[in-house]
Amino acid sequence: MTFTLLAEGVVALLLVAGGVFAFTGSLGMLQLKDFFMRLHGPTKGTTLGIGCILIASMLYFTVTQREFHVQELLITLFLFITAPVTGHMLAKTGLHMHLRFITGTRGSLPELRDEDVGQSRVARPAKARHPWRTRRKSLQMKSRRKSRLPR
């Protein structure tokens, strides 16, 4: 009985810690100023939050069902491996696209090699068409533009 009570206390602590980490990571993604700072929210805080919640789930079901549950542990390990790699890939993409960053933050500017940044600006993808515009409306807009052209 006391072991179950202790396990429930640890599960509750992990759930609260996971909620705090996930909330902090989400709040950081909303409040930070530029793209490169916003990467820290989901890659650090949210990853730790979801990891705590998954470990709490693994512990709870292991204690209540009296058999070891490895699925949550595998999901946690996969998350801890993939989230930093994804953040690194997003940061490299931001460098290649020459996204603006704030220079007033603490620390020095990173020394970047040419292969890290790229020589020219990468073209942005084309804007998506609005789903509510019909073909007829777009043809009407084209005919209006043609009628305005000088002859």
> What six digits make up the tokens of 14?
């992990």
Sequence-ordered alpha helix ranges (H) in the chain: 2-31, 35-38, 40, 47-65, 71-96, 114-117, 135-148
Work out the angle at residue 91's Cα, subtended by the Cα atoms of residues 85 and 96, and round it to the nearest 5 degrees: 125
Confidence band, pLDDT 50/70/90 cuts, at residue 123: low
d(CA 117, CA 111): 10
pLDDT digits (tens, 9 = 90+) for 58-105: 999 999 998 998 898 899 899 989 988 988 898 888 888 878 777 766
